[in-house]
């Protein structure tokens, strides 16, 4: 299962990460978010030890979404060395997420 990303642990989890990080911005009321949630959890298991896959609830942590201009959810940001290298907006197939994660490695 993907780790929770919050305003308070963002620096530690993303900016100081020793490996690429994938951040899923979501909310409990968002239907498309619920559709991709199991995919995100699968990716967290599949890439464990290679990529840190985390989830940020936009209703609970508002600073991070504002910092990155998240206006639509789900939005998935792909970080390498603390910098955004890719972004996906909307519910996309598992293969698309895997392809983008693989490009981080």
Give me the DSSP letters along 12-53: IIIIT-SS-EEEEEE-TT-HHHHHHHHHHHHHHHHTTTT-EE
Of 81, 58, 53, 54, nearest in space to 68 by CA: 58
User: Quick check: is 56 catalytic?
Assistant: no
Q: Which of 30, 36, 58, 97 is catalytic?
A: 30
CA distance 44 to 67: 24
User: Quick check: is 30 catalytic?
Assistant: yes
Q: Which of 2, 14, 33, 53 is catalytic?
A: 33
CA distance 51 to 55: 13
Question: Which residues carry out catalysis?
Answer: 30, 33
């Amino acid at each position: 299962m993907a780790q929770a990303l919050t305003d308070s642990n963002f620096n530690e989890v993303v900016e100081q990460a020793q490996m690429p990080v994938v951040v899923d911005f979501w909310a409990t009321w968002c239907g498309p978010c619920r559709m991709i949630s199991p995919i995100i959890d699968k990716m967290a298991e599949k890439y464990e030890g290679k990529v840190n896959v985390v989830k940020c609830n936009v209703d609970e942590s508002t600073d991070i979404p504002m910092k990155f201009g998240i206006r639509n959810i789900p939005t998935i940001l792909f970080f390498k060395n603390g910098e955004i290298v890719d972004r996906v907006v909307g519910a996309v197939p598992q293969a698309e997420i895997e392809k983008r994660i693989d490009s981080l490695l």
